[in-house]
Each structure stands twice: as structure tokens, then as C-alpha cells.
Amino acid sequence: MDTPRSAALTDLSAGPGARVRAVLFDMDGTLVETEQYWGEAMAALAERLGGRMSAAARERTVGTSMRVAMDILYADLGVVRTEEQFQADTRWIEDRVAELMSGEIHWRPGARELIAEVRSAAMPTALVTTTPRRLADLVLDAIGRAFPDVPPFDVTVCGDEVPARKPDPAPYLQAMAALGVDPGDCVVLEDSVAGSTAGLAAGAAVLGVPSLQPLPPAPGLVLRDTLAGVGLPELHEVLATARETVGA
């Protein structure tokens, strides 16, 4: 799905005021410390293939689809794999990540508190992740245990449930449609280039909190070092600031 950049900017800059109507969260590296599991699994696969994944290659895989990540890994190792081998490698990585995710899940600073504040205000929420459903559910179960009274998300969208993955806007547009909200009234929280690109292309303001990958400045993107101290007032400020940068 291709959303023209000009259309996305129009969505974000339209309408008076700057009141957030919905918050959409990425998962790995944004809410919980699970992004490194993918790195550990890819490093282990690289060793099985007789090589070692470079730090630069690992950084480029953050937030991407398995197809993109594996192509980066193969190129880094200088190996060529058939489609059948790619499918087997993908299953091996996903199985390894599932083992790691079955253990204790650690929150990113401020993430749990932000979800609690947003939900206490009855604001619509979505989780939008490139991770496939069978793995995402392991993390969602752990997140859900922290919120026994109110489910943390109204909508969840996983990487195997969309026509195109981040950096395409399709996952975020699908979640926004399910929530029934206008993209220009949404704030997306992301830690990766692929994810922030997707959120911006969908027409939302994006709060970028880098974890394993630096985020270059972009219209509509507001950067912070951490989610610690971020609440609803700060999200309203993100939306206002993003609209100003888009309109500049």
C-alpha cells in the first residue's frame, strides 16, 4: 500500500487544536526489551551458517520484516540461500525468539506507566508490531498480566496480518481504521526507522524513542531519549509540535 507523502502531511496538519484521540504503540524495543532477542537469534544463525553478523548489519535490521532482515544478514555473510533455505532459517529464528520471549519480559523505562495513564483516560489504543502473531501473543500475555482490570490495547495488529509491513503505512492504517480514528489525531510510538517511517506515512505524529538504532529528524517526528516522564500532556505536546514541523 502506497500513501503519498503529501497526503500524509495534509492529514497531520489538518484541523484545529492538538488533542490526541488515539495512541498506537510499537512493541519490540518501544514497550518491552525484546528487540535484542531478534539480534541474538540472528547472531546464532550467522554462526550456524559459518559466519558472524556485523554490528552495522544488525542495526539495519531493527524494526524490519523477516524478509528484509534475512536479506541483510545473508548479504553481510556473503551467502546465497534458496527460498526453501530462507523459510527454514526464518522458522529457526522465530522458534529461537519464541524460547527467549517465553522467559521474563522487561519493560522499557516509562512504557508501563504511560499505558496505564492512557488507559485510565479511556483513550483508544493499538499495538502495531512487525512480529508475527504467534510470537507477539507471548509478549501480549505478559503485558496483559500487568493490566488485570483493563486490557492495555483495544486493537492489536501483527506482521502476518497486514498486506505490507513497516515501513509501509499499511499496519498503522489498518489499526487506525479498526479504532475509527483520523490519522491526524493519532500519536505513534516507535523506536526504529522502519516504524517511524510507517507512522509518518500513515499521517500520524510520531514520538520516536530510539533503542538500538538512531532516528534521523523528519517532519512530524518528535524525538525523546526515553518514555520515562511521558504522559498524556506530553503526548498532546508531541502532536502539537509535530503539526508545527509539518506545517513549517
The beta-strand segments (E) located in 50-143 are 125-128
Set of cell numbers at residue 187: 500519536
Instruction: Please tell me the predicted confidence (pLDDT) of residue 77.
Output: 97
As a whole number of angstroms, the distance between CA 190 and CA 187 comes to 10
pTM: 0.85
Which of 11, 26, 28, 76 is catalytic? The answer is 26
Instruction: Please tell me the predicted confidence (pLDDT) of residue 101.
Output: 87
Give bridge partners of residue 23 from the DSSP assignment: 125, 187
Give bridge partners of residue 28 from the DSSP assignment: 32
Mean pLDDT for each 10-residue chunk of the chain (248 residues)? 38 59 97 92 96 94 90 97 96 93 90 97 97 94 92 97 96 98 98 97 98 94 98 97 83
The beta-strand segments (E) located in 43-108 are none
Burial 146-171 (b: 16+ CB within 10 A, else e): eeeeeebbbbbbbbeebeebbbbbbb
Q: Is 35-101 the same fold as 5-34+105-247?
A: no
The Cα-based distances of 74 to 21, 90, 210 in angstroms read: 42, 12, 25
As a whole number of angstroms, the distance between CA 86 and CA 84 comes to 5
Amino acid at 142: A
SS3 at position 4: coil
CATH 1.10.150 is the classification of domain 35-101: yes
Instruction: Please tell me the predicted confidence (pLDDT) of residue 111.
Output: 98
- Which residues fall within 8 angstroms of residue 23, CB to CB, at 6 or more apart? 118, 123, 124, 125, 126, 186, 187, 188, 189, 235
Instruction: Please tell me the predicted confidence (pLDDT) of residue 26.
Output: 98
The beta-strand segments (E) located in 63-163 are 125-128, 155-157
Please give the CATH number for the structural domain made up of 5-34+105-247.
Answer: 3.40.50.1000
26 in catalytic set: yes
As a whole number of angstroms, the distance between CA 111 and CA 187 comes to 14
- Where exactly are the structural domains of the chain? 5-34+105-247, 35-101
